[in-house]
Structure 1
């Protein structure tokens, strides 16, 4: 989950706690941020935010990615290679919203082959329908329709997600470059109807704990909890418009 989010520095008020961190950092507003892209992250000991790549797909010996695009907060306790990152590789990922998709009801989904449409299809010796290559491709592409939803704080102000950031070899240049992952927790009441997981949203108070290098593991782990659902908003949006930064309700879209 949380494989997409949005962030624009233009939406960070000058009085916001992130404003000084982001000052001087040049990046294009991203309304469809996704793994493999370079995005701003805030580190505990750095005065300014840096650009880092979301996730490192380089495979380990066991075939798993070096740094996946998200990590369950439960796994920080039990997977050594993630737990070892806690003392000095914590970070905050500034965002102004994140996205999830949910399949529409059956009566709204794209129709697949029906009994009527397959009645005259020839069958092979095993009783399977014999279809042309074009028909096979059409059916393969037919997928249930999904509605895109945007999750924000109630006042739509920028907020931070808990993450881990470490340097890894850039696969194209062979140079060390920061990569980050987002930590997830169980969904709160606002997100649960759409997904059973959500990113760890930090309050200004919990940000102070998460970024404090003088604290201990138990303190950092204590803030990795579901955010207060009463402080969040969710809305259905148009998929295409949202990637342009226009959060238009589907019924208002004229396409």
Structure 2
């Protein structure tokens, strides 16, 4: 899953990596290392004029019984809540690291790990957006969710879900309007392309220490 992430890249770097040509002057955002759901975050999508657009959107749909900040990659093209967004609202969330907390026995502190993709600063997280009516303001907002899938070998000891990262070569296809949504791009990123670092708390076992130190 993705519930916290870091962005160290500034707007100019994001624009260069994702070939953004629209919305640069209007979009102001800060870097941060504890970015979380319900905040306003910059995403990239293709606008009606066919330009690569940068725009701030709200991260997470606030429903009466839950907060939807992730969407499952598996079957998203048929999912009742998400299929229209995957058809017409595909977008990319830029980031430089994600954070995950390892599930441990009740009462123990959860080790926090930082995951990065060396050579990709920023990387692109697959996401979808759609219009959502904020119940507090009664205003319609552009709101997005990050896609997740099965974990790779690096993530599996920490969490049973993982952010769906896009390969840079797939950015254009993912954002391009198309008759058939590109479900084939929602692949599991190989563990060999990622790095993990313990940033808080003590690992549960030496096995996990060696796993992360060897990557």
TM bucket, shorter chain: 0.7 to 0.9
Deviation of the 1:214 alpha carbon: 2.7
Q: TM-score, normalised by structure 2?
A: 0.81
Deviation of the 1:49 alpha carbon: 0.7
CA contact (8 A) 2:103 2:159 kept: no
Deviation of the 1:12 alpha carbon: 6.1
CA contact (8 A) 1:151 1:232 kept: yes
CA contact (8 A) 1:167 1:176 kept: yes
Q: Which runs of structure 2 are paired with 1:1-255 in the superposition (5 Å)?
A: 1-10=1-10, 13=13, 16-18=16-18, 20=20, 23-24=24-25, 25-45=27-47, 46-59=51-64, 68-103=68-103, 143-155=107-119, 157-217=121-181, 220-238=182-200
Q: Deviations over 1:94-143 (max 9, x none)?
A: 11110101156x7xxxxxxxxxxxxxxxxxxxxxxxxxxxxxxxxxxx82
Structure 1: gaps spanning 5 or more residues:
107-141, 240-255
Deviation of the 1:27 alpha carbon: 1.4
Please state whether the residue corresponding to 2:146 is helix, strand or coil.
Answer: strand
Larger Rg over CA atoms: 1
Deviation of the 1:156 alpha carbon: 5.3
The residue that corresponds to 1:125 in the other structure is none
Question: Cα–Cα, structure 1 residues 48 and 9, in superposed 2: closer, same or farther, change >3 Å?
Answer: farther
Q: TM-score, normalised by structure 1?
A: 0.69
Deviation of the 1:224 alpha carbon: 0.6
Please state whether the residue corresponding to 2:86 is helix, strand or coil.
Answer: coil
**Alpha-carbon distance in structure 2 between the residues aligned to 1:202 and 1:27:** 22
Deviation of the 1:10 alpha carbon: 2.8
Deviation of the 1:11 alpha carbon: 8.3
CA contact (8 A) 1:98 1:152 kept: yes
Please state whether the residue corresponding to 2:10 is helix, strand or coil.
Answer: helix
Question: Cα–Cα, structure 1 residues 19 and 87, in superposed 2: closer, same or farther, change >3 Å?
Answer: closer
Q: Aligned pair count?
A: 196
**Alpha-carbon distance in structure 2 between the residues aligned to 1:7 and 1:171:** 29
